[in-house]
Amino acid sequence: MANHASAVKRNRQRITRTARNRAAKSTLRTEVKKARTALTAAPKDAVKLVLTAISSLDRAASKGTIPSKRASRVKGRLAAALHKASKAA
């Protein structure tokens, strides 16, 4: 339990930021999952979903929701999978 005003404020900020980050991460994971599913199911339609996922990853990394290196790694893997899927199709 916080014992002074600044600690109370920091606790309020922590709760707000945690909720915001949790929602953003949930949305991000959903978009990445949709892109990966589209890559295996319909590679021709996957381009739009992959670009949306990459945009979301960039946004989350710029806001500090996820580490920038993690965003870069996931983007690279999505791009490689898209290249592989488009090559096979």
pLDDT at 44: 83
Query: In which residue are the tokens 């980050």 written?
Result: 21
Asked if residues 78 and 54 have their Cβ atoms less than 8 Å apart, the reply is yes
- pTM for this model (two decimals): 0.86
Residues of the chain with pLDDT > 90, as a percent, come to 87
Please give the Cα distance from 53 to 55 (Å, whole number): 5
| Domains of the chain, each with CATH number or no CATH | 5-88 (1.20.58.110)
pLDDT at 64: 94
Task: Spell out a b/e string for 31-51, using b for 16 or more CB atoms within 10 Å of the CB, else e.
Answer: bbeebbebbeeebeebeebbe
* Segment 32-55, tens digit of pLDDT: 999 999 999 988 889 999 999 999
Please give the Cα distance from 61 to 71 (Å, whole number): 6
